[in-house]
Amino acid sequence: MAGSVETAAPAPAAATPTPQREFTTDDYFQTQRPPANLAEKKEAMRKWVDKWAGVEGKNVVLVTSGGTTVPLEANTVRFLDNFSAGTRGATSAEYFLDRGYAVLFLHRTHSLRPFSRHYSHSLNPFLDLLTITGDSIGVADPQAAKLLPILRAYNKAQAEGTILSVEFQTINDYLWLLRAATGVMAPLERRAMFYLAAAVSDFFLPEDRVAEHKIQSTKGSLSLEMDQVPKVLRPLVQEWTPEGYIVSFKLETDEDLLVPKARAALSRYGHQLVIGNELHKRKHEVVFVERKMREKSIGDDRIRGAETPPLADSDAEGAPNFRRDLKKKKEVFSETWLHLNQLAPNRPEAEIEEFIIDELLKRHQEWIDRGAK
Ligand code: PMT
């Protein structure tokens, strides 16, 4: 088997209760076993990335999509899930392909996929579109007219190999695959974009606390104590791909939290952009939050934004450092709202991802150009 083999300490016997501990990213990878087929998947990703690395001017984006699960049993009958159908990721991947990017699509098994998402079995069952004439099957108008450009784009991506899909199911699969994918893309330096739309579990059960077999309901109520998943955005930005253009998403149900939480993430992790979306409006409205670093003496009033407010953020890994760092520098943020009804007033079928991707392309190109100076 080719490629480097990921290693982790052998797992202790399952279901031995151990005291709860705080996992750093390093602890996590040292104690949690990689998924069985990691080496093969990593090698497939490496080959695919190498192919595009050799094509001048070809940019590559990692799109993560769908929600991760936390299995409660090793022989899994039950698991906790994170909300995400994979619409954002699958739709965005199509627009990236259309704009000439190669797309590494890291997605939850059975979540929506580029192109086929238009014919999801629940919303638009494919069989309902088909007609039979004698022994021939066809697609009647107006469905055929809608299908044609989708099929053309799908066939083009397949023929050119511009999309590689890699599946995850659990939070553990996701973290190992994310690190592997980032590692193989890092040599692309600024040509690599990371578009982290997956909904990632915040809590997990370390494998030494996962029951081996189906938990029996005869034992009465179930109490679970879960550990916090390390925030991998920090090493991703600072160690795994320091030159990549990194976009994370922030999902909130309270709209007022979107901008402060997005700013906090930028300050904490130091990446380029957070796209904030409120659960119910996410298909029509998003906000781009970016950090503009300026020396206090410059007093640049051309940048819309404000100084970072002090944080009281429960998921604030490293919050004390963040506050200390604030004293050293003045941070200014800009916010750009995208409203679909303003961007495409006469196109009822328009998707906000089209506009998200076009905005991102401009920023990514600036990032590449700045690196070339
Ligand atoms: O698929 P759809 O149904 O269309 O839904 C799309 C979406 C709403 C899920 C998507 O647009 C979205 O907002 N995704 C991010 C969800 C979210 O808020 O994730 P988070 O708060 O758990 O993480 C925020 C960021 O931190 C993420 O970019 C994630 O990559 C990163 N993270 C999260 C957990 C963790 N342990 N480490 C991380 O680095």
* CA atoms of 179 and 224, how far apart (whole Å): 28
DSSP single-letter state for residue 240: I
User: For residue 119, what are its two tokens?
Assistant: 């014919």
User: For residue 20, what are its two tokens?
Assistant: 């709860």
Q: Can you tell me which atom of ligand 1 is nearest the CA of 283?
A: 4
Alpha helix (H) residue ranges in 209-254: 233-235
User: For residue 208, what are its two tokens?
Assistant: 């030494």
Per-residue exposure over 283-298, b if at least 16 CB sit within 10 Å of its own CB, e if not = eebbbbbbbeeeeeee
Name the region of 161 (left: φ>0; alpha: ψ -120 to 50; beta: rest): left
Q: Is the CB of 268 under 6 A from ligand 1?
A: no
User: For residue 351, what are its two tokens?
Assistant: 């998707």
- 3-state SS, residue 107: strand
Tell me if 180 sits within 8 A of 62, measured CB to CB. no
User: For residue 283, what are its two tokens?
Assistant: 């298909």
Cα of 230 from ligand 1 centre, angstroms = 14
Q: What is the pLDDT of residues 289-340, one digit of tens each?
A: 998 865 443 333 333 333 444 343 444 444 444 434 544 567 899 999 999 9
Angle, CA 229 vertex, CA 241 and CA 108 arms, to 5°: 75
* CA atoms of 178 and 62, how far apart (whole Å): 9
| Ligand 1 pocket: which of 106, 171, 251 to mutate (most atoms within 8 A of CB) | 251
Q: Is the CB of 93 under 6 A from ligand 1?
A: no
Cα of 186 from ligand 1 centre, angstroms = 21
Host H or E run for residue 287:
strand 285-294
* CA atoms of 275 and 26, how far apart (whole Å): 27
Q: Is the CB of 232 under 6 A from ligand 1?
A: yes
Q: Is the CB of 229 under 6 A from ligand 1?
A: yes
* CA atoms of 340 and 337, how far apart (whole Å): 10
Host H or E run for residue 53:
helix 38-53
* CA atoms of 325 and 225, how far apart (whole Å): 33
* CA atoms of 35 and 101, how far apart (whole Å): 28
For ligand 1, atom 37, name the residue with the nearest CA: 231
Tell me if 117 sits within 8 A of 126, measured CB to CB. no
Backbone angles phi, psi at 309, to 5 degrees: -75, 155
Q: pTM (2 decimals)?
A: 0.88
Cα of 269 from ligand 1 centre, angstroms = 14
Q: Is the CB of 231 under 6 A from ligand 1?
A: yes
pLDDT score for 45: 98
pLDDT score for 343: 98
Percentage helix, strand, coil, to 5, in the chain?
40, 20, 40
pLDDT tens, N- to C-terminus, the chain (373 residues): 333 444 454 444 444 445 567 899 999 999 999 999 999 999 999 999 999 999 999 999 999 999 999 999 999 999 999 989 999 999 999 999 999 999 999 999 999 999 999 998 888 888 989 999 999 999 988 899 999 999 999 999 999 999 999 999 999 999 999 999 999 999 999 999 999 999 999 999 999 999 999 999 988 999 999 999 999 999 999 999 999 999 999 999 999 999 999 999 999 999 999 999 999 999 999 999 998 865 443 333 333 333 444 343 444 444 444 434 544 567 899 999 999 999 999 999 999 999 999 999 999 999 999 998 7
Q: Is the CB of 332 under 6 A from ligand 1?
A: no
Q: Is the CB of 271 under 6 A from ligand 1?
A: no
User: For residue 176, what are its two tokens?
Assistant: 């190992």
Per-residue exposure over 34-49, b if at least 16 CB sit within 10 Å of its own CB, e if not = bbeebbebbbbbbebb
Residue type, position 278, single letter: E
For ligand 1, atom 5, name the residue with the nearest CA: 84
Q: What is the pLDDT of residues 107-125, one digit of tens each?
A: 999 999 999 999 988 888 8
The full set of domains in the chain, from first to last, is 1-119+159-243 (3.40.50.10300), 248-373 (no CATH)
User: For residue 315, what are its two tokens?
Assistant: 């998921």
Cα of 197 from ligand 1 centre, angstroms = 5
DSSP single-letter state for residue 319: H
Q: Can you tell me which atom of ligand 1 is nearest the CA of 171?
A: 36
Cα of 251 from ligand 1 centre, angstroms = 6
Q: Is the CB of 273 under 6 A from ligand 1?
A: no
Tell me if 210 sits within 8 A of 35, measured CB to CB. no
Cα of 257 from ligand 1 centre, angstroms = 15
Backbone angles phi, psi at 68, to 5 degrees: -95, 155
Cα of 357 from ligand 1 centre, angstroms = 17
* CA atoms of 344 and 216, how far apart (whole Å): 53
pLDDT score for 126: 86
Q: List, as one string, the DSSP characters of 151-202.
A: HHHHHHHHHHT-EEEEEE-BHHHHHHHHHHHHHHHGGGGGGEEEEE--B--S
Tell me if 250 sits within 8 A of 261, measured CB to CB. yes
Which residues lie below 8 Å from residue 48, measured CB to CB, with a gap of 6+?
A: 102, 104, 161, 164
